Amino acid sequence: MTSLTSAEIQEHIREYISLLDGSSDERPVHRFLANHSYFFQCIVRLDGQSPLYSKIELGDEFVVDFACFDSSSVGPEWYLVEIESPICKMFTKAGRPSAQLTHTVQQVNDWRAWVQENLHAARKLMPYIDQPLGYIFMGRRKNLDAQGQILLRRMIVENRMFFRIHSLDRLADCARDALHMTGRDGHATWSLPMQALTHRDLRRGLPADAQQYMSHFVSMLIRTKRYPKEMLEDREHIDFDGRGI
């Protein structure tokens, strides 16, 4: 269980923004996020059945910054997350994807391909994984002008079945949403552990409630041929909430 006060959440957000403002390297950003997993509450439920996992190995070929799944009513949707530097630019002045963005998108696509080509090994590590959705967090919102925002939204919509791209500021927005969970006493409590778990933890097996979800509910979805069909259908509908970048 994690229990935080509104003051602690606000301090964590200030610390994170300061880190983005002063860092040119993604490694300290990754370390911070691995120790403040609720910053990912936009993709992992604070009171859900999946922890956040850090540095997940896909065979001997790849290391994924973070992984988790959403235990939704249409079945588990696994997310593979890449964190890039705050100073990365998404687009060139000519309005084309930057070399760094192109490289990162290819990396996420390589992860997805590895899962499909090594499905037995992938599912042994991440039960029932099927067509994982990639998430890329890179650069800063302030460095995207109006044209860049249009280009980014278009890129996300065109690739909505495969990945999402956001600035690192998006994770601060997610943490701010956690403030809404604080009650009159200024406290919020949720089941998501504060610290991300490890590859070794994932190899040992999912938590008991997640295993129950997988073995009962998900197996029923598979028998009725609803999974992963309905999960993939949901990806067709994408909505930007005004802060999605």
The tens-digit pLDDT sequence of the chain (245 residues) is 899 999 999 999 999 999 999 999 999 999 999 999 999 999 999 999 999 999 999 999 999 999 999 999 999 999 999 999 999 999 999 999 999 999 999 999 999 999 999 999 999 999 999 999 999 999 999 999 999 999 999 999 999 999 999 999 999 999 999 888 887 788 999 999 999 999 999 999 999 999 999 999 999 999 999 999 999 999 998 776 545 78
> Do the domain assignments include residue 244?
no
Tokens linked to 90? 């998404």
In a domain, 100, yes or no: yes
Report yes or no on 107 lying in a domain. Answer: yes
Q: What is the pTM of this model?
A: 0.96
Tell me what pLDDT residue 220 has. 96
* Residue 72 covered by a domain: yes
Domain assignment present for 199: yes
* Residue 241 is assigned to a structural domain of this protein: no
According to the model, what pLDDT value does residue 182 have? 85
- pLDDT at residue 186, as a whole number: 87
CB half-sphere exposure, 161, CA atoms < 13 A: 9
Instruction: Determine the structural domain holding residue 91 and report its residue range.
Output: 2-235
φ, ψ at 81 (rounded to 5°): -115, 135
Those residues whose C-beta lies under 8 Å from the C-beta of residue 191, and which sit 6 or more positions away, are 1, 2, 46, 47, 48
Number of other CB atoms surrounding residue 131 within 10 Å: 15
pLDDT value of residue 243: 55
133-137, strands of its sheet edge to edge = 53-58, 62-72, 75-83, 133-137, 163-166
Residue 58 is assigned to a structural domain of this protein:
yes
Query: Using CA atoms, how far apart are residues 150 and 54, in angstroms rounded to an integer?
Result: 31
**Residue 240 forms part of a structural domain:** no
With a CB cutoff of 8 Å and minimum separation 6, the contacts of 49 are: 71, 206, 207, 209, 210, 213
Total domains in the fold of the chain: 1
